[in-house]
Structure 1
Amino acid sequence: MNTSLLLRSLGLALAVGFPAAAQVRIDVKPMPATVPATMPAAKPGVTITDEARALMDRISAAYLDLKSLEMSGTVSQDLDVAGQKRKEERQFAAAYQQPNKFRHELKDEVVMGSTGQKVYAYSQRDKQYVMSDAPEGKVDQDKLPYPIPNMLEMQNPSLLLAMLKDPSHWIRENNTQIVKGEDVNVNGTACVSLQMSGPTVPVVTLAVDPHSGLLRRMVVDLKKQFEKRGVPDVKAAAIIVEYAKVTPNAPLNDAQFAWTPPAGAVDASKEAADAAERGSPADALVGKPAPQFKLAGLDGAEYSLADQKGSVVVLDFWATWCGPCRQAMPHLNQLYKDRKADGLKVWAVNQRENKEKVSGFLKSNGLEMPALLDTDGAVADQYRVRGIPQTVVIGRDGQVKNVFVGFGPGSEDLIRAAVDSALKAD
């Protein structure tokens, strides 16, 4: 399980919209449908108990044997961080049919799937979608088009396992210890559990129906990840996926997997593929000198990053149409007000919108931080922006310290902790 993606996608994997300079890689190649019958040997450094290995084999065999699967449930977050408690829950419904059809819908948020010919992901909030040719059968996780595996990993891991050619690899990935956990009851079903952990990843617990071998619950404990990033007083930080209905080998029909873009939806596939080629913004930027630029501000002044050496600068790439951006802006504005006396600069770098629209948005929301106009997206390209909002923290030495993509529960605390760390540095 690539749990680093969980951290990058915190916020139910909904925090990142499909921007005009979109974020989604669409280059899936067909993979053979043949799969190993049992789990291969663990790689060196991974401790797997005998009971855990047997359960992993049971899970892998169950998902590989599926002809179809219908499921529904909830994905939720439970946060008690820095004195703030937040709980959020979304409902989802999904289906899978061999060899390559699936559909997953998170209510009022996102629809993704494969018709058998095309694979797609559609943001209901932003009314944008990406689409490409569907793989011919089961695949490796990294061959699924981004953001489908990232979202399913947190929203519907059971569907993801049904699509993979080696389900056990998802369980083993990035973990150093895998053990059998305590028995639990999930919605009246007595389940056995599997617990995965490692020094750099969250503790993940899977509750499994011992009769079917299918998942009934996943709990991702993010507490230590928040603490490592300097967030104070972390009492709870968890993502929970719970299945209310799981029906293996259910009779399904083609109509359940049909999808056409809604009227007015914008195809972002080409821009997405182009942007994905530039690679991860964090990998490309953190620890390196921040790309220099000059931009006109909404106030008519010229803003030059080169002139800010010795100050901590936060760049927030955003647009008025982006829902997560609108959620983030008041928090960033408050951060600016709280820390500007300490020398913090917060620049809201608008993407490709006109001055009147940006000005109206700032005024109607009472936002005071400076807004810069990246009218052609050139600065966003320098900063490898694939999804917005993207927030970049630049230290006094002019180097990029942190990159945050998206905004959801817990994001404000992470950004504040990064800014405080940068302000304290020499």
Structure 2
Amino acid sequence: MAMKLLRWSVGMLLFAGLNGAAVAHEPDPLEIIKKVDEATKAVKSFSYEARVWDEDKAGKTAPRMQIKFDGQERPGEGRQRRPIPIMRASGKLASADGERSFLVIANEKQVIVLDEKDKEYTIAKYPGGLLSPIPREVLERAFMIEFLHITPFTDEINAESRKYEGTKKIGDTECHVIYVKYRGLPAEARWYFGKDDNLPHRVDRIEPQGGGVRVLELQKLDVSPKFDEATFAFTPPEGYQEKKVETPQPEAPAPEPATPPAPSPPPAAPAAPELLKVGSDAPAWTLSTPDGKSVSLADLKKHVVLLDFWATWCGPCKAAMPGIQKLHEKFKDKPVKVFGVNCWENAGADPAKFMKDNNYTYGLLLKGDEVARAYNVTGIPTFYVIGPDGKITYASSGFNPDEQDELARAIEVALQKIN
């Protein structure tokens, strides 16, 4: 009996030791993601071949795109000092009427889209230009935006949960596999991070309700490629026609125009709508808060109003929100109203929950698409400061690390107009 007890004790200790060792050596998914975040922040240029496809619950796949992607950051100019991403994408896109070949180039001044099927190309102002459906899908599905994002994996670090699922080879790269359930969003993803380079090589974006999966897989990833000026240059091919980009006009009455500028020599890029000019009247609006209350600009006379147009899916928007919260706290005892105007939102997203989960306490206004149109918003985040007289005193678009300070100065100047 004593021998049996001894054997049982030794066996249990051995089992406990082995089990403890297994637990101790299982990688911590949060620590892996933090390393990936730092490595991805360091990427300033990249080149990869992307495969994009959809999977249903039965595992059947539907190919969407095969793309060669080149991209890098270039410094911004003037007040807009934030880096400008430039890129070149070429490949094939599956569509209802067959496979389409395309080329997209975004350099410092323009975004060019070439459609081989229709033998035409479009040119729009960049950054902030209007894109055709082809590049929009390319950017949403095939562009690993984390490579040029100021906080690439903040959402994954702050996720509701993370689970380590082992390893898998993506091409020739052995990867950690981590399942992420996001906080404040009806979204889940499975990430594949290189064990040696700490970079993303694949992401499966999972639809929790439908069970479908949208896959982006990178091959031949290079984060130190050699580019020259020709990489991001464009010469119209022979036989192709330029298709003009139609620019939508805001619904609100426009301020009196300044003296029209002299016409630009061809081939000029069609201009996207510019932000409303400082000194012009702010278009009127009425929007609802999450608890159903109405807020109107007309009710905010004798206040300075800060508007931040944003969406839960927008990485730069989320990068700007801590600064907006600090402005809300800085001016809470002044006649200043701060609102996030939620626009262009994904179906099923809960912006109110997102703000609550992240401890953002400034005002939230919902369904702001029409207001965004009236304010000439073509990219988010976009910021406006409106003075107590209803005039625009500040306007800017895109995330800038200095934006918080610039907005604070604009608010302080506008406050001086209140008696």
**Could you state the TM-score of these two structures normalised by the residue count of structure 1?**
0.41
Structure number with bigger Rg: 2
**Could you state the TM-score of these two structures normalised by the residue count of structure 2?**
0.42
Q: Which has the higher contact order (CA 8 A, sep 6+)?
A: 1
